[in-house]
């Protein structure tokens, strides 16, 4: 499985103390350090998160210690003239305001939410997917045709720090038609136009790997570059980042005023060295060792083992046809017990959690599950973004915290 992202404590504030510690008993809590208010300490304490206390003396020697909220205000410092910094396991980026375009049933939203982002709104215009999304998230999803410019005005009111999205990909996908001029490919340009109009600090666009060599992507990149975004483009195989599936997807990640390829090392360095198999992920939860996955062509194998990654979960799922002939690459011989994965099992391969609520017709559910971004893939990309921010030592914008000074 992919290596877990490491989150270091995030600096919330820095303040020089010029108070007489002999009078400490008379201080109010917020007098002790106004850039780390008591209310925030109480919030962290209520969440079971530890406060980290950093003492920097005149020689810039750092003395960290984990403290409870009570200890934080009762500790006697070593000197009357120290700098005080407070950090917490409250993750940097957990207040990064995010909106999701072309959200489908919510794979990208859930992955970024699990990484620590705050999704405030989502947008799609396929009712079956919208219904599933709304049953699983507390924030709103809007039934909006984003190709119409008049419908894009609602996005700006959220003032997002990052926009994520998966423009429909059928015109790039080998599972559908391959003509970029058919219309859906143009939604990639719509995504670029929306992002540059709203102008968030970050954006993430996901699509099939075939888009990498398309003219539409070249045009979209030009739009992003002309508005000041540095770009990182990368095809990621899901089985190397916590998904038991050989699903290759292209991600274009942009950040305002960065150099191109700024995130490439973070993405590459954290990928697992071994592909994740179905058995690695699900263990003995499946009551089968082999399963059928209908091929696009009978020149391809159709029988797979749980001891390898699943092939790409698509929007169709069919039983074993009576006319199927054994393929030399099949993982086992045809037998009466052989079956396709169920709709719910396919959602697990896409790393949807067991408590995710799916409701609707079988064909609609198969399609939205097949179209979804795997949750763990989205989470991986989100964690790479947060790790990059932390390693760069840059503060994330916290709209609800007004900090007096930063290190």
Catalytic residue positions, numbered: 169
Tokens read off for 290: 């082999």
* DSSP per position, 326-344: --TT-SS---TT--BPPHH
Q: In whole angstroms, what is the distance from residue 5 CA to residue 173 CA? A: 31
Q: In whole angstroms, what is the distance from residue 254 CA to residue 226 CA? A: 12
- The three-class DSSP label of residue 233 is strand
The radius of gyration computed from the CA coordinates of the chain, to the nearest angstrom, equals: 25
Q: Are 293 and 308 in contact (CB under 8 A)?
A: no
- The three-class DSSP label of residue 242 is coil
Q: In whole angstroms, what is the distance from residue 104 CA to residue 118 CA? A: 18
Tokens read off for 367: 């399609």
- The three-class DSSP label of residue 64 is strand
Q: Are 359 and 382 in contact (CB under 8 A)?
A: no
- The three-class DSSP label of residue 346 is helix
Q: In whole angstroms, what is the distance from residue 259 CA to residue 257 CA? A: 7
Please measure the distance between the N-terminal and C-terminal CA atoms of the chain and give it in whole angstroms: 35
Within a 13 Å sphere around the CA of 301, how many CA atoms are in the beta-carbon half? 14
Give one word for 329, left, alpha or beta, with left for phi > 0 and alpha for psi -120 to 50. Answer: alpha
Q: In whole angstroms, what is the distance from residue 124 CA to residue 74 CA? A: 51
Q: In whole angstroms, what is the distance from residue 12 CA to residue 74 CA? A: 20
The position carrying tokens 């984003």 is 146
């Amino acid at each position: 499985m992919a290596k877990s992202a490491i989150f270091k404590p995030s600096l919330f504030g820095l303040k020089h103390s010029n108070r007489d510690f002999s009078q400490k008993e008379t201080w109010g809590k917020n007098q002790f350090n106004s850039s780390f208010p008591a209310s925030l300490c109480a919030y962290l304490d209520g969440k079971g998160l530890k406060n980290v206390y950093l003492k920097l003396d005149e020689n810039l020697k750092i003395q960290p210690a984990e403290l409870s909220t009570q200890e934080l205000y009762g500790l006697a410092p070593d000197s009357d003239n120290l700098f005080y910094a407070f950090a917490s396991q409250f993750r940097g980026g957990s207040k990064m305001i995010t909106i999701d375009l072309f959200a489908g049933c919510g794979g990208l939203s859930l992955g970024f939410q699990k990484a620590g982002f705050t999704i405030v709104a989502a947008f799609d215009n396929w009712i079956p997917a919208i219904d599933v999304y709304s049953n699983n998230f507390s924030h709103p999803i809007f039934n909006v045709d984003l190709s119409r410019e008049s419908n894009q005005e609602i996005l700006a009111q959220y003032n997002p720090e990052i926009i994520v999205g998966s423009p429909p990909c059928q015109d790039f996908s080998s599972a559908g038609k391959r003509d970029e001029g058919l219309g859906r490919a143009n939604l990639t340009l719509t995504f670029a136009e929306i992002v540059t109009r709203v102008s968030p600090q970050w954006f993430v666009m996901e699509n099939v790997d075939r888009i990498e060599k398309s003219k539409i992507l070249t045009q979209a990149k030009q739009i992003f570059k002309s508005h000041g975004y540095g770009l990182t483009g990368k095809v990621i195989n899901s089985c190397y980042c916590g998904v038991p599936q050989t699903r290759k997807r292209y991600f274009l990640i942009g950040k305002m005023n960065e150099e191109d390829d700024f995130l490439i090392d973070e993405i590459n360095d954290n990928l697992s060295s071994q592909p994740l198999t179905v058995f690695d992920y699900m263990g003995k939860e499946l009551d089968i060792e082999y399963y059928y996955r209908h091929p696009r062509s009978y020149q391809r194998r159709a029988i797979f083992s749980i001891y390898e990654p699943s092939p790409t979960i698509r929007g169709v799922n069919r039983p074993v046809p009576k006319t199927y002939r054994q393929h030399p690459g099949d993982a086992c011989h045809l037998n009466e017990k052989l079956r396709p994965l169920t709709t719910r099992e396919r959602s697990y391969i896409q790393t949807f959690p067991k408590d995710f609520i799916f409701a609707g017709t079988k064909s609609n559910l198969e399609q939205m599950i097949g179209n979804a971004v795997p949750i763990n893939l989205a989470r991986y990309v989100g964690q790479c973004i947060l790790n990059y921010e932390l390693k760069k030592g840059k503060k994330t914008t916290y709209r609800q915290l007004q900090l007096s000074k930063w290190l």
